[in-house]
Amino acid sequence: MWDDLRFNVTNFIEGIFSISIKINVPNGLPNSAWWLSAIYGPAKRRNINNFLLELTDLNSMCSPNWHLAGDFNIVRYSAETSTQNSSTYSMRKFNTFITASSLIDPPLTNSKYTWSNLRVQPVPFRIDRFLYTTGWENLFSLHYSKALSRITSDHFPLLLESSNISWGPPPFRFINQHLKENWFKHNIGTWWKNLRQIGHPRFSFMQKLKNLSFTMKAEYKKKKKQKKKKINEEDKRAWIKEIDEIDKLKAESQISEAQSRRRTSLKAEINQYYYR
C-alpha cells in the first residue's frame, strides 16, 4: 500500500499516449523529486510523430529526474524482432528521440523479447522497456531489469528493481473469487466486527486489515484442504516453468503446433487454479 510518509504525488500530466506523475520524497535528499511516465505507444505508424512529439514535450517538463516505462510499440533495432517488415523510419525516429533526450535504455538481463503474438509461428518483439535519465539513475542506483514469467498475457511483465527503494509495508490483497464462496459471505461481517484495535484511526484501520488478512488466509487454507482435488504449489511452478520453456522456443521460432496447444492447455489449468 502507498505510504504517504515516504512518497507523495504532487503533480500529474495526462497525455494521449502517457500519464505522468511527479513523486516527492518528503524526507529525501534535496532535488530528489522525480517524474514517472506510464507509456502506451500507438499501434499505427501514422501516429508515431505525434507520439514522439508528446514524449519530447514531456522531457522538457519532467527532466532532470525522469523515468518512462511501458509499451512503446516500437523496436529500436532490427535484432529486437524476428520479422523482416519492421519500420526503419520508426526505429530511426525513436532512437533520435532517445539520444536527444539523453535517456538510458537498460538491457534485460534474462530475455531478448518482451512480446509475442502467441501463434504457432510466433513473431516476437521487444516493444516494452524502461527508459530513464542520468538524474533518475543517480537517485536509484544498484538496480537491474528483467522479464518475469508470462502466464496469460502476450506481454512479458518487466521488473526494474533497486535495493535502495523502500515502498513500505506490502499491500492488502483481496481475491475476488472469495465473494462467491459461502464461507466468506457467512463470516466476513462477523470477522470485521470482532476485530478491535486501539489507536489513531488510520493505524487502527491498517491493523484491522492486516488481522483480517491473517484470518481469511487461515480459513481459505482450511477450506482448500477439505477439497477432494488439490493442486499444490509444485504443480503450479512446474506449469509456469513449462510455459517459460515453450516461450523460449517461440522466441527462436522453434515451436510445433502440439507445443502451442500444450501452452494453451497449461494457461487454462493455471487460470482454473487461481480463480476456482
Q: What is the pLDDT of residue 168?
A: 58
Residue 28 banded pLDDT, cuts 50, 70, 90: confident
pLDDT at 199 over 80: no
pLDDT at 228 over 50: no
Residue 229 banded pLDDT, cuts 50, 70, 90: low
What does pTM read for this prediction? 0.60
The domain spans of the chain are: 8-162, 176-226, 233-275
Place of cell 516500437: 74
The residues, ordered by sequence, that sit 6+ positions from 166 with a Cβ below 8 Å of its Cβ are 6
Could you tell me what percent of the chain has a pLDDT over 70? Answer: 84
pLDDT at 71 over 80: yes
Range list of H helices, the chain: 48-62, 88-100, 134-139, 182-194, 201-226, 233-251, 257-275
Instruction: Please tell me the class of the 8-162 domain.
Output: alpha beta
Q: Which three cell numbers stand for residue 39?
A: 507509456
Nearest C-alpha neighbor of 146 from the set 177, 169, 99, 112: 112
Q: What is the pLDDT of residue 167?
A: 54
- The mean pLDDT value of the chain amounts to 83
Residue 56 banded pLDDT, cuts 50, 70, 90: very high
CB-CB contact of 124 with 251 (8 Å): yes
The residue among 248 and 43 whose pLDDT is bigger is 43
- Spatial distance between the Cα atoms of 154 and 124, rounded to a whole number of angstroms: 10
pLDDT at 183 over 70: yes
